[in-house]
């Protein structure tokens, strides 16, 4: 018994082919969207690549770019097949390719779903990447004469101003990087932050140096004073920004996956309905279409049997080759 059997006449087949053709070209645009999102995300990561501890963060945008390109090619081919299915004389040339193509589409849909999941789970490794990258970047903040690090100060200052943040987890992280802390009452010999930590909307002039020294500033108590530097850590701010991007991209990729599944099912109905014409020489005759020719259980059993047969065939060939080698 076929899975989700549907009866077709010529009018229904034409309407189905036209609908799936339209959806395929819509899916091509969706592929362009996935490619564009991957490219945009890669550019956003490259802007602050000096603050990333490794290159693994570029895995996701690279996967998105690849999946977008594949989607464009697959959907353009599927659209052409749907268009030619309206003319049986043209469709017959595609018929031998359709089964492998549909199997590839199923695998591709699975990879798209995995890509969407990656968008949601990559937030976790991104936190560790940024934590270590920001720590190293802050340590080399003043190494403006060292090759490869001369732009670190500019990168960190722009990042702190853009994201309205200071330090890694807290503005006090800047006190730690100088490694000249004093053990007296937990005070630091160097307790300042860069100018980019200052909040420009504060009514008071920015206090960015000697922040824990009450005597260095007029009417100031760092224990009770509402400091005019950003309180939010930059790791939290950047994870929130990139995490929001990844969640949005993941949701869009899930929608694209649903569209791809829909057009794959539609193409399978077109293929099966044209293969089961009551009178193959009469295009107007009735036919039946299905998603699977057998039930799910029977299809799974057949696949396992084919895999076992292929495995046995491979062993027989190896034994035959071993026998020939022994004789020689």
pLDDT in tens, 11-49: 888 898 899 999 999 999 999 999 999 999 999 988 888
- Residue 204: its pLDDT value, please? 74
Three-state SS string over the chain comes to CCECCEEECHHHHHHHHHHHHHHHHHHHHHHHHHHHHHHHHHHHHHHCHHHCCCCHHHHHHHHHHHHHHHHHHHHHHHHHHHHHCCCHHHHCCCHHHHHHHHHHHHHHHHHHHHHHHHHHHCHHHHHHHHHHHHHHHHHCCCCCCCCCCCCHHHHHHHHHHHHCCCCCCCCCHHHHCCCCECCCCCCECCCCCCHHHECCCCCCCCCCCCCCCHHHCCCCCCCCCCCCECCCCHHHHHHHHHHHHHHHHHHHHHHHHHHHHHHHHHHHHHHHHHHCCCCCCCCCCCEEECCECCCHHHHHHHHHHHHHHHHHHHHHHHHHHHHHHHHC
pLDDT tens per residue, range 282-298: 777 777 777 776 666 66
pLDDT digits (tens, 9 = 90+) for 214-246: 666 666 666 555 678 888 899 999 999 999 999
127 or 66, greater pLDDT:
66
Where do we find the tokens 């790791």? 235
Mean pLDDT, residues 266-292: 78
The structure's pTM equals 0.80
pLDDT-derived band at 183 (thresholds 50, 70, 90) equals: very low
Pairwise pLDDT comparison (198 vs 55), residue with the higher score: 198
> How much is the pLDDT for 181?
44
Instruction: Among 39-48, 77-86, 165-174, 270-279, name the one with the lowest average pLDDT.
Output: 270-279
């Amino acid at each position: 018994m076929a899975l989700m059997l549907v009866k077709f006449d010529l009018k229904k087949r034409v309407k189905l082919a036209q609908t799936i053709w339209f959806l395929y070209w819509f899916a091509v645009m969706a592929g362009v969207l996935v490619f564009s999102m991957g490219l945009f995300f890669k550019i956003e990561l490259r802007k602050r690549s000096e603050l990333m501890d490794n290159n693994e963060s570029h895995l996701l945008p690279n996967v998105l770019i690849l999946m977008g390109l594949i989607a464009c090619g697959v959907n353009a081919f599927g659209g052409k097949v749907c268009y030619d299915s309206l003319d049986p004389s043209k469709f017959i040339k595609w018929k031998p390719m359709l089964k492998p193509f549909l199997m590839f589409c199923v695998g591709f849909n699975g990879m798209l779903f995995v890509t969407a999941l990656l968008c949601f789970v990559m937030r976790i490794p991104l936190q560790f990447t940024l934590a270590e990258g920001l720590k190293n970047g802050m340590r080399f903040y003043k190494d403006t004469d060292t090759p490869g690090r001369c732009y670190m100060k500019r990168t960190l200052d722009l990042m702190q101003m853009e994201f309205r943040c200071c330090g890694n987890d807290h503005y006090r992280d800047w006190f730690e990087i100088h490694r000249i802390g004093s053990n007296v009452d937990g005070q630091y010999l160097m307790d300042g932050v860069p100018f980019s930590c200052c909040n420009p909307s504060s009514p008071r002039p920015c206090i960015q140096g000697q922040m824990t020294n009450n005597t260095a500033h007029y009417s100031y108590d760092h224990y009770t004073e509402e400091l005019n530097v950003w309180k939010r850590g930059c790791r939290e701010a950047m994870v929130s920004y990139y995490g929001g991007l990844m969640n949005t991209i993941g949701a869009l990729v899930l929608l694209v996956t649903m569209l791809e599944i829909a057009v794959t099912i539609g193409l399978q109905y077109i293929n099966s309905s044209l293969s089961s014409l009551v009178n193959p020489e009469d295009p107007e005759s009735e036919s039946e279409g299905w998603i699977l020719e057998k039930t799910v259980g029977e299809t799974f059993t057949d696949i396992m049997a084919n895999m076992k047969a292929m495995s046995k065939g491979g062993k027989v060939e190896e034994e035959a080759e071993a026998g020939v080698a022994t004789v020689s």
